[in-house]
Structure 1
Amino acid sequence: MNIGDLEWQSTYHDGPLRMVRALLEQGHVDLVVGAAREREDWFWAKAAVDALCAAGEFEQAMELVQPFAEAGWQPAVWKSAHILVGWGRVEEGLALVRPDEREQEDEWKCHDFAELLVKAGRVERRSRSSNH
């Protein structure tokens, strides 16, 4: 797994989205999973992971995204966190991407983490009182 290659794919290559969508619409998730592994293609892997999660196949989704996350590809790390939260392994998922003190200045990271907290059901509602 090469971060430079993944960055290039992300910047210059939208991925074979039509083919991936067509295969998934026809129920060929296994074919997309296999192609993602063989090609080490993030777009194929991301689409396959989304389909696997929708089917409740979280363990297989984690196995597919793991090489990308281990390479340090941040979109894969975040995808891993979402998989874990969807799988019910909330604390583990949140721990992967929780901003540290230095990262709390990063508006996007905090925004993305807040969205993950919402997905995990970790948002408290506070009622407005007349004392405020």
Structure 2
Amino acid sequence: MDAADLDHRTRTRSGCIPPELVVRLLERGHTAVVEEQAGPGEWFCAQAWAGLLAEQGRQTQALEVIAPYAATGWWTAVVEVAELLEGWGRIEEAIETVRARMALGHPDALQHYARLLARHGRAQESSTLLLPHAGDGSLARALVEVTGAAGRDEEAAELLTTRIQAHRCSDFPWCCRGFDTDTAVGLLATIRERQGKPLTRRLVSPTPQPLKPIMTTPRRCRRHLAHRDAAAQGDTPFDRRTPGAAATVLALLPATCDTRRSVRAGAWCRMIHVPDARHVRSRCIRPVPGRC
């Protein structure tokens, strides 16, 4: 068996018995057929048969079914072995299985290894492995998941904030491998929510200024700001002369709307996608023709 061939066949469902058919065979009692086909490169049969053996407590036989696939270095089979071992409580063996594959340089191995460590009381070690890779999208997501248990949220937040302030997408998604500023803001928001801190513009920009920074703030953060400002305003009239009002999303609405008492909060979400304040329109429930 060849890892590349196995990966191609399972991804494209070509040249193999599809998982739906395997399920149907098992439902109709044709376990012997599934067992027979589990050997000669039929991954979905092997996976299902190993699962049945694992349920029966036949751990050695279950691993023997998956072993030829894992021996090719195919990542999917390695993960299957690690999950079986973890499910049986053989944690150190599961960790060593993934670590050995990580040493060969598989791109998904580090995040899987780090999550596995974090699930079993080694969050500090997991965070140490991931912190240097905060600029990689998939690894940054894993980092945000594990730093909470390790008590290192602030370190991850500092790295994400630095990226948000410094990174400028020039040719998304190729310029940053899909890890754009909006994604980084979303991960930062996850950390701040876990810490019980509101995500404000100050968490993204150290020197907030009225109007223009709001329009240049990443879209996902603007959504948070829009919901925050609309909820704080409620149904009271908006007065842009109030201290601090100029730094809110509401200040981007035309002055003719300041006296409207009932404003649909969800409308602010539509407004924040507008790239230029000159094109912002009001969304009053009872708009004044020609003015709103």
Q: Which moved more, 1:8-17 or 1:85-94?
A: 8-17
Aligned to 2:67: 66
Aligned to 2:89: 88
Which is helix-richer, 1 or 2? 1
Question: Aligned partners of 1:56 and 1:45: how far apart in 2?
Answer: 16
Kindly, what percent of the aligned residue pairs are identical?
33
Q: Which protein has greater RCO, CA pairs closer than 8 Å, 6+ apart? A: 1
User: Structure 1: any 5+ residue segments left out of the alignment?
Assistant: none
Aligned to 1:77: 78
Question: Aligned partners of 2:32 and 2:60: how far apart in 1?
Answer: 14
For the pair shown, the structure with the greater C-alpha radius of gyration is: 2
Aligned to 2:260: none
Please identify runs of 4+ aligned residues in structure 1 that moved more than 4 A. Answer: none
User: Structure 2: any 5+ residue segments left out of the alignment?
Assistant: 124-147, 152-194, 196-292
- Do the aligned partners of residues 45 and 12 (structure 1) sit closer, same or farther apart at CA in structure 2, a change above 3 Å counting? same
Contact 1:82/1:116 (<8 A) preserved: no
TM score, norm. by length of structure 2:
0.36
- Do the aligned partners of residues 69 and 8 (structure 1) sit closer, same or farther apart at CA in structure 2, a change above 3 Å counting? same
Q: 1:115: how far off?
A: 4.6
Mapping 1:1-132, distance limit 5 Å? 1-13=1-13, 15-37=17-39, 39-98=40-99, 99=102, 108-117=108-117, 122-123=120-121
Q: Which moved more, 1:57-66 or 1:47-56?
A: 47-56
Q: Deviations over 1:101-131 (max 9, x none)?
A: x96xx5x43442355446xx613796x8xxx
Q: One-letter code of the match for 1:95?
A: E
Contact 2:50/2:62 (<8 A) preserved: yes
Q: How many residue pairs end up in the alignment?
A: 123
CA RMSD of aligned residues (A): 3.1
- Do the aligned partners of residues 17 and 91 (structure 1) sit closer, same or farther apart at CA in structure 2, a change above 3 Å counting? same
Question: Aligned partners of 2:23 and 2:10: how far apart in 1?
Answer: 18
Q: Deviations over 1:45-102 (max 9, x none)?
A: 11222222233222111000000111111111111111222233221111110355x9
TM score, norm. by length of structure 1:
0.71
Question: Aligned partners of 1:9 and 1:61: how far apart in 2?
Answer: 22
Question: Aligned partners of 1:89 and 1:19: how far apart in 2?
Answer: 31
